[in-house]
Amino acid sequence: MAFELQKIRDDFPTLAREVRPGVPLIYLDSTATSHKPEAVLAAMDSYYRNSNANIHRGVHTLAEEATGLYEKARESIARFINAPAARQVIYTRNTTESINLVAYTWARANLKSGDLLITTEMEHHSNLVPWHMLAAERGVRLEFIPVTSDGLLDLDEYRKLLELGPKLVAFTHMSNVLGTINPAKEIIRLAHQAGAITLVDGAQSVPHFAVDVQDLDVDFLAFSAHKMVGPTGIGALYGKQALLEAMPPFLGGGDMIKTVHLRTFTPNTIPYKFEAGTPAIAEAVGFGAACEYLTAIGMDAIAAHEHAITEYALERLEEIPGLKLFGPSADKKGGVAAFVLDGVHPHDVAQILDGDGVAVRAGHHCAQPLHEKFNIPATSRASFYLYSTTAEVDKLVEGIYKVKKYFA
C-alpha cells in the first residue's frame, strides 16, 4: 500500500469529529494512545457479532472460531516483530504488565541480594517501579545509565556500569518524553558480552518503526496494542524460548495448567502457562488486525512520514520565543516534542490549546525522575503518528502564540 495520508486519515473515524461545534479535533497525543482505524473496529465488531465464545477446550463451532481468531492474531503479532515462533508471544494487558511479568517470574527466580540491575534515567515508571519493588524485597542493586543534557544516553558510563557485572539490563527503546531512539542493538550486544539478560520497553518503538527481535537479539520485548492503532487492555511480551520455558508461571487459574490435582498442578506449555483465565479475546483480535493494518502500509513508510512531521514540528516550535524543547535533534528521535513555555505552566498550555481543539499532554508523563533530572516539574508534549499532518503542527504553533498572548 502506498503512503496516502488523506486515505489513511479517512480510516480513523475519530479524526473527523469536532470537539465542540465548529472546532475540529487536532490530535497530537498519540504517545499516550493512538486512534483506531475502521479495520480494527470492524475486526472486533465481527468477533462479537459472529464468533463470540470462550477459547480453547470447547469443541463447538463458535469456540473453535474464537480460538482460531485468537491464535491467528498471535501469529500476526509474532510476524510484526519477526519473532521466531508465535508461542514466544505472551498476551498481557499492556506494556506495564509485560514488564511486571518478567519482574515477578524471571527476576524473582534468578536475582538475589546484591545482584545488579541496570536501567536508565529516562524510563517510564513502568520500567522503574517494578525494579524498585524488587530491590526492596530482594536487596537487588539498581544503577542508572545517565541522560546527557541533549537527551541521549551516556554510553561511556554504561560501559563502566557493565564492568560491575549486571544480571539484567532493562531500558526503553524510545523515550516517551524526549523522543530519543536509543541504540538498542548496541546496548543489547554490550549487555550480552557482560553476561546480562536484556529487557526492552518497546511501547514507543514498536508502533512507529520496524522492530525485529531476532536482529536486536533481545531477550524480552514489552509493548502495547493501544499505542499502535489497536485496542486498550491488551499488550504482549516477547521472550526467547529457553527463558520463557524456564520461568515459573505468573498467575494461577484456568488455561495456564496442564493438569491439576488436589495437592499439585503441572503448568501448561508456553505461551499458555502465562495466560491464566479468560483472556481479552476481542482485544487480541483487534491487536492482530492492528498489526496487519500497519504492515499493509509499511513500517518504513510510517517512520519516514513521522520523521518528516517531527522535523517540521521542531523547526516551527524552535521559532517561538520563550519556548524550550527537550530531547535530541530530529535525526535521533521519534515523533515527540516535549517543551516548556516561559512563565506558563504546562497544564495551562494544554488547557488553552484544547480550546482550539488541539490535544496535547501535560505533566511528567509517567517519567518523574527524568523531569527531576532537568529540574522541571512538567512539560507539555505534542506527539505524532502516521495520521499527523503539517497543518496540525501549524495549528499547534498558532495555539502556542495564543497562549503567549494570553499570558503576556
Name which of 359, 356, 363 is nearest 402 in CA terms: 356
Of 274, 296, 318, the last residue of a domain is 296
Among 39, 243, 320, 366, the active-site one is: 366
Same domain, 11 and 95: no
Domain that holds residue 274: 41-296
Is residue 366 part of the annotated active site? The answer reads yes
What local confidence, expressed as pLDDT, does residue 366 receive? 96
- Regarding whether 225 and 278 lie in a shared domain, the answer is yes
Question: Does 57 share its domain with 96?
Answer: yes
Is residue 169 a contact partner of residue 183, using CB atoms and an 8 Å limit? no
Answer whether residue 178 is part of any domain.
yes
Whether the Cβ atoms of residue 248 and residue 105 lie closer than 8 Å to each other: yes
Please tell me the distance from the alpha carbon of residue 285 to that of residue 45, in angstroms, as a whole number. Answer: 10
Q: Are residues 308 and 292 in the same domain?
A: no
pLDDT at 1: 55
**Same-domain pairing of 52 and 24:** no
Q: How far apart are CA 182 and CA 180, in angstroms?
A: 6
- The enclosing domain of 115 has a CATH number of 3.40.640.10
Predicted TM-score (pTM) of the model is: 0.97
Residue 144, in any domain of the structure = yes
Instruction: Clarify whether residues 123 and 260 are in a common domain.
Output: yes
Q: Is residue 408 part of a domain?
A: no
- My answer on whether 97 and 189 are in the same domain is yes
How remote is the C-alpha of 220 from its chain's centroid?
Answer: 13
- Relative to beta strand 23-24, strand 18-20 is antiparallel
Q: Count of domains in the chain?
A: 2
Residues of the chain with pLDDT under 70: 1-2
Are 261 and 339 in the same domain?
A: no
Task: Specify whether 243 is located in the same domain as 344.
Answer: no
CATH number at residue 339: 3.90.1150.10
Is residue 123, in this structure, part of any structural domain at all?
A: yes
> Of the candidates 279, 296, 313, which is a domain's last residue?
296
Report how far residue 382's alpha carbon sits from residue 248's, in angstroms, rounded to the nearest whole number.
40
Distance CA 68, CA 80 (A): 18
Please check whether residue 130 lies inside any domain of the structure.
Answer: yes
Which of the listed residues 242, 276, 296 is the one where a domain comes to its end?
296
Q: 315 and 287 in one domain?
A: no
The secondary structure of residue 105, as a DSSP letter, is I
pLDDT, residue 2, reads 66
Residues 217 and 281 in one domain: yes
Give yes or no for a contact between 405 and 320, defined as CB atoms under 8 angstroms apart. no
- State the cell numbers at 73: 492474531
